[in-house]
């Protein structure tokens, strides 16, 4: 079986496994929807009390918010295997079984546990995109749709890269460390407001180290047809999502280093 059909087979198996417990899956999805929705309450309450922030309106912020939540929802569903690598694979010795199979390792991990509940966050993101469209009158032409899809793909790659790095770390720690949440959940939190609000060192970090701004902020500006208050050229948003793929490639480089170091726990 080829790689891609195999991946879909794995995802299908994982999803139908979760569907055996419909009440649980539904409740977790609802929990995700509500859990991510509270951030929307925070954004709304702040705009309700203070009005526009440095020339940004709520509809524009909703676009950042919606985009970044869609990205993370998809990456989180795909990258769950890397997320729990330490606790569920390395410590138990299950990882050896994956290594013995003549199929790409990353593929097996990605298809391992495709969480239905992440659809809660995805729905939330899509709802915010609809709200943003309604509020700011975004015109979805083929060009803007293409920018949005490219940004989405770059964002999924970037978040997946972060999860791969988190998994790599567990080759050393044999634990799944919460510290990566700084970049995953913390990244979502940071990227849902316009980059221009932040302090300079933080903006640099979000652009050049963990290029969240490149997959959310700049493409969103291009979609809105808004000039960057910080003076980045107009075409930035059209090419910048590429950095997400670069990040993922680099992450897999580090992953191979970690893999070379792997010695089974032997249980």
Partner 1 sequence: MSTAPVWRDVARPYIAAFASRFLQMLQYRTAALAGFATQCWWGGIKVMVFAAFYGGTAIAGAATSMSLAQAITYTWLAQGLLVLMPWLGDPEVAQAVRTGAVAYDRLRPVDAYALWFARSAGWIAARVLPRVALMAAFAAVALPLAGLNDWAWQLPADVVAGLAFLLSAVLALLLSTAMVMLLNVAITAALNERGISAVATPVVIVLSGNLLPLALLPDAWQTALLLQPLAGLMDIPARLYFGQLVGWQALGALGIQVFWIAALVTLGRAAMGRTMRSLQVQGG
Residues that bind partner 1 (CB under 8 A): 23-24, 27-28, 30-32, 34-35, 37-39, 41-42, 45-46, 48-54, 175, 177-179, 181-182, 185-186, 189-190, 193, 197-199, 202
Please identify, using beta-carbon distances, which residue of 96 and 228 lies nearer to partner 1: 228
Q: Which of 77, 9, 114, 71 is nearest to 245 (CA)?
A: 71
The minimum distance between CB 180 and partner 1, in angstroms, equals 9
The minimum distance between CB 230 and partner 1, in angstroms, equals 14
The minimum distance between CB 256 and partner 1, in angstroms, equals 25
Please identify, using beta-carbon distances, which residue of 27 and 146 lies nearer to partner 1: 27
- Scan for tokens 């050049």, then name that residue: 208
Please identify, using beta-carbon distances, which residue of 73 and 148 lies nearer to partner 1: 73
The minimum distance between CB 183 and partner 1, in angstroms, equals 9
Rounded distance between C-alpha atoms, residue 14 and residue 18, angstroms: 6
Rounded distance between C-alpha atoms, residue 171 and residue 263, angstroms: 9
Please identify, using beta-carbon distances, which residue of 78 and 190 lies nearer to partner 1: 190
DSSP character at residue 110: H
Give me the half-sphere count of Cα atoms (radius 13 Å) on the Cβ side of residue 195. Answer: 28
The answer to whether 64 and 216 have CB atoms below 8 angstroms apart is yes
């Amino acid at each position: 079986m080829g790689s891609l059909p195999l991946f879909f087979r794995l995802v299908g198996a994982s999803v139908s496994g979760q569907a055996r417990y419909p009440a649980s899956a539904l409740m977790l999805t609802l929990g995700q929807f509500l859990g991510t929705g509270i951030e929307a309450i925070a954004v709304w309450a702040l705009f309700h009390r203070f009005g526009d922030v440095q020339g940004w309106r709520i509809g524009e912020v909703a676009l950042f918010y919606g985009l970044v939540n869609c990205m993370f929802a998809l990456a989180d569903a795909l990258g769950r295997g890397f997320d729990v690598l330490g606790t569920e694979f390395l410590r138990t010795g299950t990882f050896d079984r994956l290594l013995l199979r003549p199929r790409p390792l990353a593929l097996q991990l990605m298809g391992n546990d495709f969480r239905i509940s992440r659809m809660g966050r995805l729905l939330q993101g899509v709802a915010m995109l609809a709200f943003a469209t309604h509020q700011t009158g975004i015109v979805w032409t083929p060009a803007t749709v293409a920018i949005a899809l490219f940004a989405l793909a770059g964002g999924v790659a970037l978040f997946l890269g972060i999860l791969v790095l988190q998994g790599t770390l567990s080759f050393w720690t044999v634990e799944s460390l919460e510290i990566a949440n700084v970049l995953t959940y913390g990244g979502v939190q940071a990227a849902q407001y316009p980059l221009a609000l932040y302090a300079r060192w933080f903006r640099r970090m979000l652009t050049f180290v963990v290029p969240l701004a490149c997959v959310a902020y700049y493409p969103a500006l291009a979609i809105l047809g808004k000039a960057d208050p910080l003076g980045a050229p107009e075409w930035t948003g059209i090419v910048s999502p590429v950095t997400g793929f670069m990040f993922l490639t680099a992450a897999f480089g580090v992953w191979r280093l970690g893999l070379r170091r792997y010695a089974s726990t032997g249980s």
